[in-house]
Structure 1
């Protein structure tokens, strides 16, 4: 089964891509996912200030700057995993470095 990890953290304290690549915790997480052959993709997202939220109400398209909710935490990236079950997805997500100070939301992919 596939799962999407929504990687959330405080945008004000996000390290640069170079810092993330050099971080031993991120390197260990990447090795864990690769070792399990669980990775199916992922991406780091641009800052929330560059987001647009789209809603259609009564036939009118409404475009709002920014994310859909006012919050300190934002979705900064996603990982897509293929795991035997939810328990394995939780085990992998618990090793993500952002789980230590942000949060990781797990959602099954509807296939």
Structure 2
């Protein structure tokens, strides 16, 4: 099965939980190194839980929505979710079950700061 992980991030610089030894999320901070380790592990496939990363990347800050109304194309700039978090990236994972996908998501460094939204993809 394939799962889309939507990597959430918060505006500003959130503080870490006590378990995270005081590490904070930063554009070039320690969490980026941790993410690279996670990416490398799951790009190669994890023997421990039989899951692997098929694709993934950071997303730019540019956001726009395209709608067609009455034959007219309308383009609106900006994020539209009423939220303190935004989608900062994604990972496409292949895993044998949702339980395994959850376990893989729990090992992603960003799960310790904001969250990982998991979306199963239809086969």
TM-score scaled by structure 1? Answer: 0.81
The answer to whether residue 120 in structure 2 is matched with residue 108 in structure 1 is yes
What CA distance in whole angstroms lies between the structure 2 residues aligned with 1:79 and 1:17? 19
Paired residues in the alignment total 107
Q: TM-score, length-normalised on structure 2?
A: 0.74
RMSD: 2.1
1:69 and 2:78 equivalent? no
CA gap of 1:54–1:68, structure 2 versus 1, over 3 A, is farther
The structure with the larger Rg is 2
Q: Is the 8 A contact 2:31 2:109 kept in 1?
A: no
2:22 matched residue in structure 1: none
**1:89 aligned to 2:101?**
yes
Gaps of 5+ in 2: 14-24
| Aligned match of 1:15 | 26
